[in-house]
Amino acid sequence: MLYRTAGQFKTSYQADQALFPIRQDAVLLGIILIFAWAILPLVASEFAYQTLLIPILIYSLAALGLNILTGYAGQLSLGTAAFMGVGAYACYKLVTLFPWMNPIVAILLSGVFSAGVGVLFGIPSLRIKGFYLAIATLAAQFFLVWLFEKWGWLYNYNASGAIQVPNLEMFGVYVAGPQASSVVQYFVVLGVVTLMTLICINLTRGTLGRSWKATRDMDIAAELIGINLMRSKLTAFAISSYVVGVAGALFVFMWRGAAEPNLFDIPLSFRILFIAIIGGLGSVLGNYLGAILIVGLPVVLNTVPEALGLPISSATVEHLNVMIVGSLIVFFLIIEPHGLARLWALIREKLIIWPFPH
Amino acid sequence: MLNEIFIKPFADMVGAPDFLLQVLWEGLVSGILYALIALGFVLIYRSSRIFNFAQGIMVVFAALTLVGLHAMGVPAWICVILTLGVMFVLAVTIERVVLRPLVGQPDIILFMATIGITLFLIGFGEIIFGGENKVMITSELGIPTDSVLLEPWGGLLILEQKDITAVVVAALLVVALLAFLNKTRMGRAIRALGDDHQAALSVGISLQTIWVLVWFIAGIIALVTGIAWGARAGVSFALEVIAYKALPVLMLGGLESITGAIVGGLMIGMLEKLFEIYWGQPLLGGNTETWFAFMLALIVLLFRPQGLFGERIIERV
């Protein structure tokens, strides 16, 4: 009913291939954007910013980066957290070496470094496939985390071995560091995420995106129709690592405020992989749905025992959370292996033809 | 610098051969454990193409169950039998609840499902047994804890008896496993299923039974690994990280090959120790064991994309 497409006639191929072939999609997205940009900042509390809004956005961006590599180009990667780390450390070096640099420019530039590292570790993908490649990306994961710990130059040789975000100012407002307010950080993150999403959507719809999808579906066939596999795979690694690196810089500068090397350890990689897979591989929307689920679920679960008045210690709640998240992952994989994005697609189909069954 | 990299380590090796032997022995023992975990992976991968990430946590879970049961006052050997029972129940549950509904899904989905199982078992284990480090019931199980002193070339070589036991038990386990896979009906059924699901089903091999069996065998291997590693380092969830060590072993040896798992495990165990002692600590600030195995495997894979002993990847169009 709400999604009735009657009267929306496509008279050209361009209209048919448009970003929103159905007008209601555009309206819905517009409502979500207005909500995110205007209404949420008015009502959100400090707690909501720090535990829900900012992390969800950052995790979705990281998952989006991974999704480009795994969902669109078909190269399974388990080293996402390390590439986030490269972004974060690069950003830290940039703002400490060039204190006059605009923080947002620094964040966007730091992705370039992780893109470079990503391409370097993507080179084996030209020869190695499937799970072998997945394990090969673990080499990046373990090596880079080790490097963050041992290479003193990266954290300016400070005694703690961790990076501390300094106070960064932009147009007279603190955007990062201990004095920055959550609202400002939320808008910075939202701005970067919106921009990145826009770029990624259009990349995946264009020539490059089509060559990724062809590589994913069958690389030999892709090669036969004239797609340069090396270019396709390495651009996927570069762009994916760029987005992931930017997410990593945001992760530390806009949310955590400080980072130790083991923050970028393998559990973070898996977390992002969960988001991408539960959300749906090969979809942009899925990353957001997955991040809402994976980030939001523990927050909700933490409040449940208190609300019910159950006398459970916080450590037990923590373990129960891990258990529940684990079983939910299995549960979602069983009910919809293609992820939440597919679930939404099915609902949308139903809405379009409602009230008729076919 | 060149001297430090290319000459000094070798001079050190020749200069103190007993220390070199000690390093190699330590490497061999950890290599055996890597190989055991990799063996669990290989078994499951061969029979179902599932990349079982939960093997590491199964090791922890088996060891925790064993120690936990003993703490409740059950005699040591009965604990072992009960733990095997628990591993069997686990295998049946995993097959029923997780794998059966996911038959035929893409590899990555099944892989994610095993990570889900891993998370579940971590939370479950922490709630039941607690997260603190526990002592493995080594002497209660009749494993000798003395050490053997050898004096090659006038030096000193210390071999712990529990390590020797671990090596012997691991060797026996591998022989038994190979005999089972090659000589018995069930073993041949497992290999048939690995070669071709459809064909195996059509000659009357039950997918469900074999999967339970394979996960149970992986559970037994996990228990042996858990006892051996727990005797060295205590039982805690930190053990889980050795599961990651099994991954480069798999890459190096090949995902399908039992020989590959063993050779790869031993190679990685010894080479990473050698690298750490002679190159890592003096030149790179130590702790290189976290990534050395992966880098080694990566370099080997560039020349042999299917690993040293893996099945040749033949692509058809």
- CB of B122 within 8 Å of any CB in chain A? yes
| Residues in A touching B285 (Cβ below 8 Å) | 150
Put simply, the answer to whether B51 touches A224 (Cβ < 8 Å) is no
In this prediction, residue A1 has a pLDDT band, given cuts at 50, 70 and 90, of low
From CA B68, how far away is CA A118, in angstroms rounded? 44
Helix (H, G, I), strand (E, B) or coil at B271: helix
User: By CA distance, what is B105's nearest residue in A?
Assistant: A337
Sign for the pseudo-dihedral over CA of A331, A334, A337, A341: negative
Side-chain-side CA neighbours of B255 within 13 Å: the count stands at 24
Single out the residue of A80, A292, A278, A61 nearest to residue B116, CA to CA: A278
| Nearest CB to B284; choose among A124, A128, A150 | A150
Q: Do A118 and A248 touch, CB atoms closer than 8 A?
A: no
Helix (H, G, I), strand (E, B) or coil at B155: coil
Mean pLDDT of B254-277: 85
| Nearest CB to A319; choose among B118, B123, B298 | B123
Nearest chain B Cα distance for residue A24, angstroms: 32
User: By CA distance, what is A271's nearest residue in B?
Assistant: B115
Mean pLDDT of A45-67: 89
* pLDDT value at residue A85: 92
From CA A193, how far away is CA A196, in angstroms rounded? 5
Put simply, the answer to whether A323 touches B127 (Cβ < 8 Å) is yes
| Residues in A touching B283 (Cβ below 8 Å) | none
Q: What is the ipTM of this complex?
A: 0.84
CATH fold for the domain made of A22-353: ABC transporter involved in vitamin B12 uptake, BtuC (1.10.3470)
In this prediction, residue A291 has a pLDDT band, given cuts at 50, 70 and 90, of very high
Hey, which residues 44-63 in chain B have their CB within 8 Å of chain A?
A: 51
A22: its two tokens: 């159905």
* pLDDT value at residue A241: 94
In this prediction, residue B142 has a pLDDT band, given cuts at 50, 70 and 90, of low
Does a cis peptide bond (omega within 30 degrees of 0) precede residue B248? no
A51: its two tokens: 């535990």
Nearest chain A Cα distance for residue B246, angstroms: 10
CA angle A29, A31, A36 (to 5 degrees): 95
Q: What number of other Cβ atoms are within 10 A of residue A263's Cβ?
A: 21
User: By CA distance, what is B246's nearest residue in A?
Assistant: A135
Nearest chain A Cα distance for residue B277, angstroms: 17
In this prediction, residue B316 has a pLDDT band, given cuts at 50, 70 and 90, of low
| Nearest CB to A131; choose among B51, B109, B124 | B51
| Nearest CB to B251; choose among A135, A273, A321 | A135
- Ordered by start, the domain boundaries in chain A are 22-353
* pLDDT value at residue A246: 94
| Average pLDDT value over all residues in chain B | 82
Any residues with CB less than 8 A from the CB of B218 and at least 6 apart, and which? B40, B43, B44, B52, B55, B58, B91
Q: Do B261 and B174 touch, CB atoms closer than 8 A?
A: no
Nearest chain A Cα distance for residue B251, angstroms: 6
| Nearest CB to B112; choose among A145, A220, A329 | A329
Q: What is B2-303's CATH number?
A: 1.10.3470
Q: What is the pLDDT of residues B155-204, one digit of tens each?
A: 677 777 778 888 888 888 888 888 888 888 888 888 888 777 788 888 88
Q: How many CB pairs under 8 A join A and B?
A: 133
Nearest chain B Cα distance for residue A11, angstroms: 38
| Residues in A touching B97 (Cβ below 8 Å) | 330
| Average pLDDT value over all residues in chain A | 86
| Nearest CB to B123; choose among A129, A136, A322 | A322
Mean pLDDT of A33-37: 87
Helix (H, G, I), strand (E, B) or coil at B158: strand
Q: What DSSP designation does B72 have?
A: T
Q: What is the pLDDT of residues A234-258, one digit of tens each?
A: 999 999 999 999 999 999 988 888 8
- Of A136-140, A247-251, B35-39, B234-238, which gets the smallest average pLDDT? B234-238
| Residues in A touching B118 (Cβ below 8 Å) | 326
- CB of B294 within 8 Å of any CB in chain A? yes
- Of A169-173, B54-58, B125-129, B245-249, which gets the smallest average pLDDT? A169-173
Single out the residue of B301, B221, B242 nearest to residue B39, CA to CA: B221
- CB of B227 within 8 Å of any CB in chain A? no
Three-class DSSP labels, chain A? CCCCCCCCCCCCHHHHCCCCCCHHHHHHHHHHHHHHHHHHHHHCCHHHHHHHHHHHHHHHHHHHHHHHHHHHCCCCCCCHHHHHHHHHHHHHHHHHHCCCCCHHHHHHHHHHHHHHHHHHHHHHHHCCCHHHHHHHHHHHHHHHHHHHHHCHHHHCCCCCCCEECCCEEECCEEEECCCCCHHHHHHHHHHHHHHHHHHHHHHHHCHHHHHHHHHHHCHHHHHHCCCCHHHHHHHHHHHHHHHHHHHHHHHHHHHHCEECHHHHCHHHHHHHHHHHHHHCCCCCHHHHHHHHHHHHHHHHHHHHHHHHCCCCCHHHHHHHHHHHHHHHHHHHHHHCCCCHHHHHHHHHHHHHHCCCCC
| Residues in B touching A152 (Cβ below 8 Å) | none
- Ordered by start, the domain boundaries in chain B are 2-303
